């Protein structure tokens, strides 16, 4: 596996693994296969593992602690302070206060079974707390040795600038894929590049749409959270599947799968993707994308095959960058 530099001296595997779906949101889970997949990821060099206290809540962090506790030194572990959550799992809403960030961090350390988090994100910017206060709390955790690097998720360009002025931001995580290129339009990617902040892409496969694994909504479990998202409504899904079929033609010419081409495109933008999967064969498929170079002609063909203007439905369900410049 190749490696990529984020910011603040942090280097990670060029393709990571988003572990969220192993515990929540996408229907029934299989803990044995999840643990096997996490361990296989480390075996093949996919060592950038992403989780959050919100996934379960808490269950995903505990799963990673059980699966990889003995291999802690082999992985780069990222987690996030999310919406304020009680120990019993009751969620109250965003809380970026220094008090909550500290409490969340201490709890995540316990659940993960580690004494330090490699990359600790503020999961969403709290509009009621100045970003300087939130980042100041994260910076204090770095000084105490509980966190090595800090990041933000779905933060606007102005917020990134203000945050980085308080303490070096290693990474900003946002949704980014052929279906979601907001970062290129709203100056978030350009600002991150200017400041030396790495960019991490969640949902780089459009929550499974940019793969060959979901060709019909009937394949989704009744409890799958994607069924509530605009792009997974019947008309939108059908329209977007037609776009994916065009990408499949490009993939065939490269001897790759549509998922691999979609991830290779993200990598070609200088972004580290963290595709989620719960199964080892899909993990192997995703990891191989790091070895698929895209030429300028390939990128042009993809842009023509999947114009962002033709994507049907918003990506609502996950907040867009905060856009608040307080």
- Rounded CA-CA distance 139/95 in Å is 17
Q: Hey, what are 208's tokens? A: 């499974």
Instruction: Tell me the C-alpha to C-alpha distance, in Å, between residue 181 and each of 123, 132, 295.
Output: 20, 27, 19
HEC assignment per residue over 131-178: HHHHHHHHHHHHHCCCEEEEEEECCCHHHHHHHHHHCCCCEEEEECEC
- One-character DSSP codes across 184-212: HHSSHHHHHHHHT-EEEEESTTGGGTTSS
What are the C-alpha distances in Å from 70 to residues 39, 65, 67, 113, 319? 10, 9, 8, 10, 35
Assess contact for 167 and 142: CB atoms under 8 A: yes
Report DSSP state, residue 50: E
d(CA 178, CA 310): 11
Q: Kindly give, in sequence order, each residue whose CB lies less than 8 Å from that of residue 304, ignoring residues fewer than 6 positions away.
A: none
Q: How far apart are CA 265 and CA 259, in angstroms?
A: 10
- Are 76 and 118 contacting, i.e. CB atoms less than 8 angstroms apart? yes
* Alpha carbons 48 and 55: distance in angstroms, whole number: 17
Q: 150 - beta bridge partners?
A: 120
**Can 55 be counted among the known catalytic residues?**
yes
The single residue of 55, 100, 120, 121 carrying the catalytic annotation is 55
CA 312 from chain centre, in angstroms, equals 22
Rounded Cα distance, 216 and 209, in Å: 10
Question: Do 183 and 199 form a contact (C-beta atoms < 8 A)?
Answer: yes
Active site residues: 55
């Amino acid at each position: 596996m190749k490696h990529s530099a984020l910011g603040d001296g942090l280097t990670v595997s060029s393709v990571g693994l988003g572990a969220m779906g192993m515990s929540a949101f996408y229907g029934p889970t299989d803990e044995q296969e999840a643990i096997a997949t996490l361990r296989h990821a480390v075996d093949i060099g996919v060592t950038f593992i992403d989780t959050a206290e919100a996934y379960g809540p808490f269950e995903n962090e505990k799963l990673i602690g059980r699966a990889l506790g003995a291999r802690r030194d082999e992985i780069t572990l990222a987690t996030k302070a999310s919406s304020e959550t009680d120990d019993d799992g009751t969620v109250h809403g965003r809380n970026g206060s220094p008090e909550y960030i500290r409490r969340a961090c201490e709890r995540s350390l316990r659940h993960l079974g580690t004494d330090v988090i490699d990359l600790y994100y503020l999961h969403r910017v709290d509009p009621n707390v100045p970003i300087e206060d939130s980042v100041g709390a994260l910076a204090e955790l770095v000084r105490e040795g509980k966190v090595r690097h800090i990041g933000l998720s779905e933060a606007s360009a102005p917020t990134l600038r203000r945050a980085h002025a308080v303490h070096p931001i290693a990474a900003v995580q946002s949704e980014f894929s052929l279906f979601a290129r907001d970062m290129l339009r709203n100056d978030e990617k350009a600002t991150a590049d200017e400041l030396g902040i790495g960019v991490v892409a969640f949902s780089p496969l459009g929550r499974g749409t940019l793969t060959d694994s979901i060709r019909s909504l009937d394949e989704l479990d009744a409890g799958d959270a994607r069924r509530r998202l605009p792009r997974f409504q019947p008309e939108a899904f059908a329209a977007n599947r037609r776009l994916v079929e065009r990408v499949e033609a490009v993939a065939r010419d490269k001897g790759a799968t549509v998922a691999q081409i979609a991830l290779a495109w993200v990598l070609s933008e200088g972004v580290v993707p963290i595709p989620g999967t719960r199964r080892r064969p899909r993990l192997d498929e995703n990891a191989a994308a790091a070895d698929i170079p895209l030429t300028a002609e390939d990128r042009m063909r993809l842009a023509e095959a999947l114009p962002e203007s033709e994507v049907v439905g918003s990506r609502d369900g996950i907040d867009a960058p905060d856009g608040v410049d307080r």
